Amino acid sequence: MLQFVYSSHPGRVVFGAGALAHLEREVGLLGAQRALVLCTPEQRAAAEEVARRLGPRCAGIFDRAAMHVPVETARAAREAAARLGADCAVAIGGGSTTGLGKAIALESSLPILAIPTTYAGSEMTAIYGVTEDGQKKTGRDPRVLPRTVIYDPELTLDLPTGLSAVSGMNAIAHAVEALYAVDANPVISLVAEEGIRALAAGLPALMTAPRDLAARADALYGAWLCGIALNGCAMALHHKLCHTLGGSFNLPHAETHTVVLPHAVAYNAPAAPAAMRRIAAALGAAGAAAGLIDLERRLGTPRSLAAIGMPADGLDRAADLAVAAPYPNPRPLERAAIRALLDDAYHGRAPADTGENP
């Protein structure tokens, strides 16, 4: 008999082309008067446009957001927020910038308004991560869940196709793991399947027409749903591997998710056949792992850990870290099998056995 626990999470979403025009109104609805705008150095111009729109409500710009949220950067941002008297953080950019906002909120409880310009999905989650001494530590806390998210597809029109592809695959990974999570439930499973479907349709379309607003909207819609899926369930093997590889070897976040995903799915396929059928259906493929591989080929994404900077002599350490404190997973983590998975991913080989019926 079906049994599950489902908890909804508060949050306001403003979605649509031109939605950034509602920024000042949305900050006002948070009751904020001094917003600290967060961005990476590369997105300083976008942050300045946000600051211009906020006018006197802008307390300043902190433009040092970085991948995996180094603890030193998190401390500096918290100090800047306190020094400037900020009562709100506005994060414009991808997962790195949203993650920095979460690191501020974790200790200060400042409300976050997120403006995603990639397909990371982290703006919909209460999951945070900070990297210290070469290890990424993650957790969940309701204080870090953005209060408001503004999704404006127009802000993604100039996102390079290569980055769009890996960012979208990162989002798909969130939904994939929600479908076989230990605490999966019917509502989140529906959301996850629709998120995968939307991204699988939108990503190939925008690769051929990068400024196709409808394709960009499909991808951003899918990323929103995948973020909801990630927030609604526990993470499993895929995220454990990516957190290990990213935090310990400083690999690029979205690319790591892209390379690892088919391998993690193939590993879990024998233990989660129902989830695999739903993933395959959302991809329009005969099998889950095979469908992911085919999608990545069509998108031209990186296929090996070696290609994104993983050192060959780090595979043993990565396998040890992955099994040391495992996330709940449908198939038990076996060190030898995880080491073999990492070896396949390192060399860009297709998983030897998907565990799926032909």
Q: For residues 31-48, give the mean pLDDT.
A: 97
282-325 confidence digits (pLDDT tens): 999 999 999 999 999 999 999 999 999 999 999 999 999 999 98
Tell me what percent of the residues of the chain surpass a pLDDT of 90: 88
pLDDT at residue 76 in the model: 96
Domains in the chain (CATH in brackets) are: 12-156 (3.40.50.1970), 161-347 (1.20.1090.10)
pLDDT at residue 138 in the model: 84
pLDDT of residue 267 exceeding 70, the answer is yes
Q: For residues 19-46, give the mean pLDDT.
A: 97
Rounded to two decimals, the pTM is 0.92
In order of 89, 214, 243, 271, the CA distances from 60 in angstroms are 10, 34, 31, 50
191-202 confidence digits (pLDDT tens): 999 999 999 999
pLDDT at residue 34 in the model: 97
Query: DSSP string of 323-355?
Result: HHSPPP-SS---HHHHHHHHHHHHHTPPPS---
76-96 confidence digits (pLDDT tens): 999 999 999 999 999 999 999
CA distance 285 to 295: 10
pLDDT at residue 6 in the model: 81
CA-based nearest residue to 101, from 155, 46, 160, 141: 141
Residue 357 corresponds to which tokens in the numbers above? Answer: 């019926």
Q: What is the largest CA-CA distance in the chain?
A: 61
pLDDT of residue 356 exceeding 70, the answer is no
pLDDT at residue 358 in the model: 37
pLDDT at residue 37 in the model: 98
Mean pLDDT of the chain: 94
Q: For residues 179-194, give the mean pLDDT.
A: 97
DSSP for residue 57: G
pLDDT of residue 47 exceeding 60, the answer is yes
Q: For residues 141-165, give the mean pLDDT.
A: 96
214-256 confidence digits (pLDDT tens): 999 999 999 999 999 999 999 999 999 999 999 899 999 999 9
- For residue 13, how many other CB atoms are within 10 A of its CB? 15
Q: For residues 338-343, give the mean pLDDT.
A: 97
pLDDT of residue 353 exceeding 60, the answer is yes
pLDDT at residue 3 in the model: 82
